[in-house]
Amino acid sequence: MFLTGKTALVTGSTSGIGLAYARALAAEGAAVMINGFGDAAEIAAECAALAAASGTDAIHSDADMSDPAAIAAMVRTCHDRLGGPDIVIANAGIQHVAPIEDFPLDKWDQIIAINLSSAFHLMRAAIPLMKAAKWGRIIATASAHSLTASPFKSAYVTAKHGIAGLAKTAALETATFGITVNCISPGYVWTPLVERQIPDTMKARGLTRDQVINDVLLPAQPTRQFVTPEQVAALALFLCRDEAAQVTGANYAMDGGWTAA
Ligand code: NAD
């Protein structure tokens, strides 16, 4: 359990990739603060399971990642109740699929706030604590869409390219403080986020559900397989190791070869 004594804060971790990060970190002994929306009883049960796995505490914050004050308060609460945070994963994200000319203005603002600006607010609150501790790991879940584009995902592609730039900047600013900042860029991971965009993609492209999965999503990945949340979490664990101390400012693709094509 190489993370015993460390605290991790993972945004957007009541589901999908974020939950896989939280479980992997807890399994290595980290105290974890999870964040996100969902059923209160299910979240409480997940915290209990995380605490049992780590042998220490696990708590939940319902902070809305589109609210900068709530993000700062979440980091303070994490520090006060669990210590740290030593590891911060900016992961919360949403998607909306529509052509630019029809893209709802509120969706644009929401995606930029949740998928991009929240990472800035998170870093702004956590970096001083990590600098004081002289150790830190910041990871952002970017996306293959931080490296390449797809039609009808203007806000998402913009936010993900932005987060890749933000992570590189943060890596340079923290390089002499024992802190690393990296992005993980998955291709398609089978999670509720991907499942939810299928109806909109069917509408935007005039396709059936099976056509979206087999003709739009999977052909992007030469392996023709979805990435799993557990594979993404395993890479994050590596980035938390002392052996990864010289890995900073990197953007790791895990996309079945998508961005190699
Ligand atoms: P998901 O929908 O399964 O989980 C999203 C999480 O974010 C949930 O816990 C949800 O409650 C939380 N969330 C949403 N809005 C929030 C808000 N305003 N404040 C706080 N929490 C909020 O999605 P996922 O597929 O696990 O995606 C996680 C991250 O991975 C996102 O940044 C996404 O862009 C990225 N990503 C996903 C894929 C994929 O194929 N699934 C690929 C590349 C990158």
Give residue limits of the domains in the chain.
Answer: 7-190+229-253
- Ligand 1 mean position to 18 CA, how many Å? 7
| Tens-place pLDDT, residues 88-111 | 999 999 999 999 999 999 999 999
The predicted pLDDT at position 196 comes to 84
User: What's the start-to-end Cα distance of the chain, in Å?
Assistant: 38
Q: Give the number of the atom of ligand 1 that is nearest the alpha carbon of residue 227.
A: 40
Q: How far is the CA of 9 from the centre of ligand 1 (A)?
A: 15
**197 confidence band (pLDDT: 50, 70, 90):** confident
CB 255 within 8 A of CB 249: no
- Tell me the pLDDT band of 42, cut-offs 50, 70 and 90: very high
Output the CA 202–ligand 1 centroid distance in Å: 21
Q: How far apart are CA 139 and CA 167, in angstroms?
A: 8
Atom number, ligand 1, closest to the C-alpha of residue 66: 18
Confidence of residue 72 (pLDDT cuts 50, 70, 90): very high
Check pLDDT > 90 for residue 217: no
CATH code that applies to domain 7-190+229-253: 3.40.50.720
Query: What percent of the chain lies above the pLDDT cut of 90?
Result: 91
Q: Which of 21, 156, 188, 252 is catalytic?
A: 156
Global model pTM greater than 0.75? yes
Q: How confident is the model at residue 41 (pLDDT cuts 50, 70, 90)?
A: very high
pLDDT tens, position by position, 135-181: 999 999 999 999 999 999 999 999 999 999 999 999 999 999 999 99
Distance 10 CA to ligand 1 centre (A): 11
Give me the pLDDT at residue 216, please.
85
pLDDT at 181: 99
Q: Kind and range of the H or E element at 61? A: strand 58-61
Extract the tokens encoding 75. Answer: 């980091």
Closest CA relative to residue 118, chosen from 18, 217, 43:
18
* Model confidence at 134: pLDDT above 90: yes
The reply to whether ligand 1 has any atom less than 6 angstroms from the CB of 167 is no
Answer whether 225's CB lies under 8 Å from 218's CB.
Answer: yes
Q: How far apart are CA 239 and CA 94, in angstroms?
A: 24
Q: Is 94 in the pocket of ligand 1 (CB under 6 A)?
A: yes
Whole-angstrom distance, CA of residue 83 vs CA of residue 130:
11
Q: Which of 60, 83, 70, 89 is nearest to 181 (CA)?
A: 89
- Nearest CA residue ID for atom 36, ligand 1: 143
Q: What is the mean pLDDT of residues 252-261?
A: 96
Mean pLDDT of 197-217: 89
Residue 252 known to be catalytic:
no
